[in-house]
Amino acid sequence: MKDLGKWPVEKYQVGFNYVLGTLVEDDVGIHKVTTEGLKTLWASTEIWGEEVLVNGKIYWEPYAPAEKPPLGVKPQKIHDEQRNEMLSAGISRYLKAGKEIPIEWVDEYNEIITRWAE
């Protein structure tokens, strides 16, 4: 961490209201409380929150970190579009090479086209 000299740094606490301009330190680095959020001075992340007016003074209320949902699956429509492009390209290459097209490719291509028509 960089030496802040005469500037006092407070230990960051979740749920604590900080006065705008305050410097706070957490596990990630040192941040300055601004109206846009905790602006990171010496780290790679930013913590966001909202202004709170208490007894005529503006304080900063940090948001609790949002939990990311687990990775889901690709939507069927996107999967079908990408798979259809792959099948079309593969069929085209086989035609140009004069090779027999696997019937599984043709069946799958037709299944996708039928799903799109519904």
Sequence-separated (6 or more) residues with CB below 8 Å from residue 43: 28, 29, 30, 31
Q: Which helix (H) or strand (E) holds 104?
A: helix 103-117
Q: Are the CB atoms for 39 and 58 separated by under 8 Å?
A: no
User: Which tops the pLDDT comparison, 17 or 99?
Assistant: 99
Residue range 97-106, pLDDT digits in tens? 999 999 999 9
At residue 3, the pLDDT reads 40
CA 47 and chain centroid, separation: 14
Domain spans of the chain? 9-62, 76-117
> Of 19-28, 44-53, 69-78, 86-95, which range is least confident?
44-53
At residue 78, the pLDDT reads 92
Sequence-separated (6 or more) residues with CB below 8 Å from residue 61: 15, 17, 49, 50, 51, 52
